[in-house]
């Protein structure tokens, strides 16, 4: 199997200690022993030794959300995401990826997206030539109405359809391939037409800040998170006593080290009520790419997160990531609701 020495090191250094066993959102949702970083590392270790076939590891490798809960908890300091992503590249390039992944990739290359339907009707604005509002494909195809609400809060920003695909979907499905890097370069070229880019989705922001940099793709525009921008705007909101609970997004906390911006926004309008597993320990609540090929399991992941909220009596969850917003909304129990951070501000203006 053609993976880098660095990736092999991540596999071979796993002590199979089980410390990451309880943090995998997929393993927590389906209860399967194969769904944690330890089991994935063990399987790939067998493939490297020639005792298992690569194709037999394929489904398990695509059951990973790349959320990094294992990385955050790995007592030996290794990062299982590295080998998982490289094994995806190997699976795709060797033609051994599962048929549902090949079908999604075909859809992507035919339609330039993996999602059905039309994107949110937000393009053609030219209000602000200096600042771009970047949403990402996941948000514009799956969360159209909230995208429009977010846009209504930012005056003098532009939208740009050509910039929406950062390459993240290709990266998630195929790792670092030639096509992924080319798409990232194409996106960077669009972003660099602006002085500032407000990035709606923390997963996309982390991808731009980390992978683009690692691949030598320069972004001259200043990248700002949506939460940072909202705090800077000083919107005319009123403070009340409603309780709101932040769903910490894994990319925001573990990859961008942002533990506070969402909580500061909640404090502007109400009371911050914490649920179980917060900050870097938060359970991720949804991934819309995976929802395309393992819908039932993604619904279980979101329901599992709801249980953390229910156990603490948290009635209103506030999200900062469109994937988690959509999946939590699909699974909200009666008497509970999920809103985006901009919806929270709007209902207090
Ligand atoms: S990155 Fe997340 S989904 Fe993947 S093995 Fe680690 S904890 Fe599980
Ligand atoms: S915590 Fe780290 S070393 Fe231990 S089983 Fe998980 S990935 Fe391997």
pLDDT tens sequence across 225-270: 999 999 999 999 999 999 999 999 999 999 999 999 999 999 999 9
Domain shared by 147 and 245, yes or no: no
**Does any domain span residue 338?**
yes
Residue 197, pLDDT score: 98
Specify whether 225 is located in the same domain as 258: no
Q: Whose CA is nearest to atom 6 of ligand 1?
A: 70
Per-residue model confidence (pLDDT) at position 125? 66
pTM, two decimals, is: 0.96
Whether 240 and 290 map to the same domain: the answer is yes
Q: Domain limits at 49?
A: 5-97
Q: Are 33 and 39 in contact (CB under 8 A)?
A: yes
In this structure, the residue with its CA closest to atom 2 of ligand 2 is 74
Q: Which of 97, 121, 152 is the last residue of a domain?
A: 97
Does 155 share its domain with 219? yes
270 and 306 belong to one structural domain: yes
Asked if 201 and 254 sit in the same domain, the reply is no
Instruction: Give the end of a domain, one of 199, 230, 261.
Output: 230
Task: Establish if 107 belongs to a structural domain.
Answer: no
Residue to substitute in 75, 82, 83 for testing ligand 2 pocket (most ligand atoms within 8 angstroms of CB): 75
Assigned domain for 62 exists = yes
- Predicted confidence at residue 194, as pLDDT, reads 95
Domain identity same for 341 and 240? yes
Q: How many domains does the chain have?
A: 3
Residue stretches of the chain with pLDDT short of 70: 125-127
Query: Cβ(274)–Cβ(281) under 8 Å?
Result: no
CB 234 within 8 A of CB 261: no
């Amino acid at each position: 199997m053609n993976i880098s020495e660095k990736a092999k090191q991540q596999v071979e250094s796993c002590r199979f200690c089980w410390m990451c066993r309880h943090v995998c959102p997929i393993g927590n949702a389906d209860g399967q022993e194969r769904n944690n970083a330890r089991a994935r590392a063990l399987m790939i270790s067998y493939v490297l030794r020639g005792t298992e076939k690569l194709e037999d590891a394929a489904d398990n490798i695509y059951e990973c959300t790349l959320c990094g809960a294992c990385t955050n908890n790995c007592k030996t300091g290794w990062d299982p995401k590295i080998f998982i992503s490289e094994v995806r590249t190997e699976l795709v390039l060797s033609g051994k990826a599962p048929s549902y992944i090949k079908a999604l990739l075909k859809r992507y290359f035919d339609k330039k997206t993996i999602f059905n339907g039309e994107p949110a009707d937000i393009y053609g604005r030219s209000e602000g030539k200096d600042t771009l509002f970047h949403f990402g494909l996941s948000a514009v195809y799956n969360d159209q109405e909230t995208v429009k609400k977010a846009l209504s809060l930012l005056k003098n920003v532009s939208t740009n359809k050509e910039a929406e695909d950062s390459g993240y979907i290709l990266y998630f499905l195929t790792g670092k391939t030639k096509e992924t890097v080319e798409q990232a370069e194409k996106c960077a070229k669009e972003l660099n037409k602006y002085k500032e880019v407000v990035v709606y989705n923390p997963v996309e922001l982390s991808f731009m800040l980390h992978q683009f940099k690692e691949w030598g793709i320069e972004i001259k525009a200043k990248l700002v998170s949506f939460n940072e921008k909202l705090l800077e705007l000083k919107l005319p909101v009123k403070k009340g006593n409603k309780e709101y609970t932040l769903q910490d997004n894994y990319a925001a906390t573990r990859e961008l080290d942002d533990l506070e911006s969402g909580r500061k926004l909640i404090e502007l309008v109400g009371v911050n009520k914490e649920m179980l597993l917060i900050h870097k320990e938060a359970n991720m609540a949804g991934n819309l790419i995976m929802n395309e090929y393992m819908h039932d399991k993604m619904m279980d992941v979101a329901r599992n997160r709801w249980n953390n909220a229910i156990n603490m009596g948290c009635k209103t969850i506030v999200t900062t990531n469109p994937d988690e917003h959509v999946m939590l909304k699909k699974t909200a129990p009666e008497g509970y609701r999920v809103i985006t951070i901009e919806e929270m501000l709007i209902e207090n203006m």
